[in-house]
Amino acid sequence: MLQEIAFSLICAGSGSFVAYDGGQSVVNGELVTSPGNARRAERADRAYLEVNGENVRIKPPGSIVPTLSGRGDDGWRTMSEVSITEREIKGRFSLNWINKPTVVVNRMTGEMIIDGGDLLAGSAGFVGDCERVRAEPLF
């Protein structure tokens, strides 16, 4: 049955990540750079998911991709540990050597959740609503 499944999703939502509000100041005539405080930030973003039989890949939202990340194929990353049921699509993908977020797409509601989960990625995450990409052009 898995060989027969082929579709693409576009998921619009919000990516959350850790940002630092550091800056530079002059102290006793010397320029001092401070890392500042960490804070949770969010921004509107999109993720893409392609399912083609047993081959599943994701283009994660830029807001959760750390500075030190593998390039992937034009931003696309192959998913592993994939399971596709009537109710959900679940799997993992690699952003870098240590960060392997989990992706869950609820096939009933269309919600996608990406959980970065580790401290090195700042516990980055994404929540969005998915729509199937049309096979034919709108115009």
Residue from 56, 123, 64, 74 nearest 95 by CA: 64
User: What is the count of structural domains for the chain?
Assistant: 1
Residue 107 lies in a domain: yes
pTM above 0.95, yes or no: no
The per-residue pLDDT for range 22-53, each reduced to its tens digit, is 666 667 777 766 666 666 778 899 999 999 98
Structure-model confidence comparison of residues 12 and 138, the more confident one: 12
Q: Pull the structure tokens for residue 137.
A: 């052009």
Flag whether pLDDT at 58 surpasses 90: yes
Name the pLDDT band for 1 (thresholds 50, 70, 90). Answer: very low
Tokens of 99: 């960060």
The string of DSSP codes covering 10-34 is EEEEEEEEEEE--EEEEETTEEEEE
Domain CATH for 55: 2.40.160
What pLDDT shows up at residue 34?
Answer: 66
Domain that holds residue 18: 2-132
